[in-house]
Amino acid sequence: MKFLLPATLAIVLATASAAPLSPRRFGQEQAVDLGDKLNAAGPFCQNFAGVAGTLGGGSPGTIVARADPCAKLRLADQIVATAKAHQCTAEGLKIMLDAAMDEVHAEHNFNPFTGALDIVCLDPTLPVTPELRGIPPLVDPRNNGPGGNGGLALVPAGAEAAAFKANAATNATLTAAKAAGTGPGSTKSVAEQLVDLGFTFIQGLNAVAPTPSAADGFDG
């Protein structure tokens, strides 16, 4: 979560030494740190100058609140395609794939002053890369209290517990996917994958028509 009013920020900074910052924090998109991860692939790929910087530099813009939530999945596809286009060795491909998985797994920010629902890609065709499918994203942990004060939107009942469960599950999925070199696969959108984990606090979810293969995905 990256939005904080200046006054709130001042309070957070003033109290930071007394109490550790909670995971509902600002600047979260920097956690992906894609440029550094992709740079490590350089020695294992051809004509790689500038590639890591360009792809990595695109990452923060895909997970800010105003971004299309499907943009990060397209960027992840582009990272894997780039690895192939630059003849990366198996080692280079693994570095690129791990970074692409981190991008798929990244939390998309939303403005907690204007809403309390996560912004998640609803397009079941993304990401296209088979190895990247089946990894749901992190969602806002919502563990900063109920909201409703200082202009913060109210956090819906059950959202914190559901977010914790979904985040624990998707963290485990990411770890397993990196170890296996491929995600578990899914025919569903990443939003529907979160619904399957019991997390329904997603913008626009009701507008999604379940696809036949995903018809059982709305019972969470």
Residues that bind ligand NAG (CB under 6 A): 23, 164, 167-168, 171
| Cα 190 from chain centroid (whole Å) | 10
Tokens for 155, please give them. 């956090």
Find the shortest distance in angstroms from Cβ 184 to ligand NAG.
17
Find the shortest distance in angstroms from Cβ 139 to ligand NAG.
10
Indicate the residue among 168 and 180 with the shorter CB distance to ligand NAG.
168
Find the shortest distance in angstroms from Cβ 152 to ligand NAG.
21
Say what angle helices 90-105 and 71-85 make with each other, to 10 degrees. Answer: 180
Indicate the residue among 84 and 165 with the shorter CB distance to ligand NAG.
165
* Burial class, 65, CB count within 10 angstroms (exposed 0-12 / middle 13-18 / buried 19+): middle
Indicate the residue among 3 and 164 with the shorter CB distance to ligand NAG.
164
Find the shortest distance in angstroms from Cβ 171 to ligand NAG.
4
Rounded CA-CA distance 106/34 in Å is 11
Closest CA to 213 of 184, 193, 183: 193
Indicate the residue among 9 and 168 with the shorter CB distance to ligand NAG.
168
Helices (H) and strands (E) in the chain, counts: 7, 0
Indicate the residue among 138 and 214 with the shorter CB distance to ligand NAG.
138
Region of 188 (left: φ > 0; alpha: ψ -120 to 50; beta: rest) is: beta
Find the shortest distance in angstroms from Cβ 20 to ligand NAG.
13
